[in-house]
Amino acid sequence: MNPPLRDAKPSVALYWDFENLHASLSEARLGEGSYGKPDGRFRTQEPLIEVQAIVELAASFGPIAINRAYCNWQFFGRYRDVLLQNAMELIQLFPPGASTKNGADIRLCLDAADDIARHTHIGTVVIVSGDSDFMPLAQKIRAGGRTLVGIGTRASTNRHWARSCNTFRYYEDLMEAAGVAAPPAAD
């Protein structure tokens, strides 16, 4: 094993609760509660996430060593090209029933805790989600001396989760900075 470079910038671990962000953007476009309906969630999804803008933000903190996204990918095939272009590791989560509540959250937390314990070169952890379920993970990341950056939408981000991060960026602000127009809101 090669020793770490002394002057190297610490690495970034980027974790995506992919469906959480997509659902938030979908509901902003189609109306609250629309994504949770069977004809909203269990169908082929139109791309709404500007993946590249988030990857670029993460890369601004250092080289990305881990880029992992958690989702039931069977409905997200239209994201294929942008996911491949960004070398994203896709973690497939099959729903155990009609609900997949917390499946991605639990797996993401376990992987992130394991990764920061094993990889000392990770200095920044970026979690793409607005979910308060990540607050205990935030405490572990910060206690381990890592910097935590959260990304989520204004409408669906839990304020306590946002405050538990060293830095929190709203997705809408990233899009505005990148010059990307917001999708039209539901009538």
Residue 2 lies in a domain: no
Average the pLDDT over each of 26-35, 62-71, 154-163 and give the range with the smallest value.
Answer: 26-35
Residue 9 has pLDDT above 90, yes or no: no
Question: Can you give the pLDDT at residue 179?
Answer: 83
Residue 80 lies in a domain: yes
Residue 149 lies in a domain: yes
Dihedral of the alpha carbons of 48, 33, 171, 116, in degrees to the nearest 10: -100
Question: Can you give the pLDDT at residue 149?
Answer: 98
Question: Can you give the pLDDT at residue 55?
Answer: 97
Strand partners, 15: 68, 127
Residue 15 lies in a domain: yes
Q: How many domains does the chain have?
A: 1
What CATH code is carried by the domain that includes residue 38? 3.40.50.1010
pLDDT band at 178 (very low <50, low <70, confident <90, very high): confident
Question: Can you give the pLDDT at residue 182?
Answer: 61
Residue 142 lies in a domain: yes
- The number of residues making up the chain comes to 187
Question: Can you give the pLDDT at residue 8?
Answer: 73
Neighbours of 5 (CB within 10 A): 8
Residue span of the structural domain in which 73 resides: 11-178
Residue 183 lies in a domain: no
Summarize pLDDT for 10-60 with one digit per residue, the tens. Answer: 999 999 999 999 999 999 998 888 888 877 888 899 999 999 999 999 999
pLDDT band at 2 (very low <50, low <70, confident <90, very high): low
Residue 6 lies in a domain: no
Summarize pLDDT for 85-131 with one digit per residue, the tens. Answer: 999 999 998 876 555 567 889 999 999 999 999 999 999 999 999 99
Question: Can you give the pLDDT at residue 139?
Answer: 95
Residue 56 lies in a domain: yes
Residue 159 has pLDDT above 70, yes or no: yes
What average pLDDT does the segment 179-186 reach?
A: 64
